[in-house]
Amino acid sequence: MVTASEMGKKGGQAKSEAKASAARKNASKPRGRWVTAIAYGVVGKDDKLHVGHLLFLKNFDMDFGRNGPAIDAAITADLRWCADAALPFKRIDYFSGSARKLP
């Protein structure tokens, strides 16, 4: 009789043709890629509206409560081209985005 402890020690060491075949089949499946697009509008230090969009090739968390500093950093980096007028921005007027898994 084999105890649970002995079965646990064997773990992933067990090899069989069925197991190897299943692993090869799973590895050959295409994996989807996540893309996140964000549009924003901020009021810059010049009191004018500055708009832009961000594109992330991953599933980017768009919740300000959980990911606010990363969102602010991404918008700041995107506004570097007009830093003298827009940075530091005063507030975010609008923000929208969408995350999709591509085939």
Residues facing residue 37 across a β-bridge = 55, 98
Query: What's 74-85 look like in SS3?
Result: HHHHHHHHHHHH
The DSSP letter of residue 15 is -
Residue 11 has a pLDDT of 61
The encoded tokens of residue 43 equal 């009021």
Peptide bond into 69 cis (omega under 30): no
In tens digits, what is the pLDDT along the chain, a chain of 103 residues? Answer: 667 666 666 666 667 888 888 888 888 888 889 999 999 999 999 999 999 999 999 999 999 999 999 999 999 999 999 999 999 999 999 999 999 999 8
State the burial class of residue 52 (Cβ atoms within 10 Å of its Cβ: 0-12, 13-18, 19+). middle
Where do the structural domains in the chain lie, given as residue ranges? Answer: 33-102
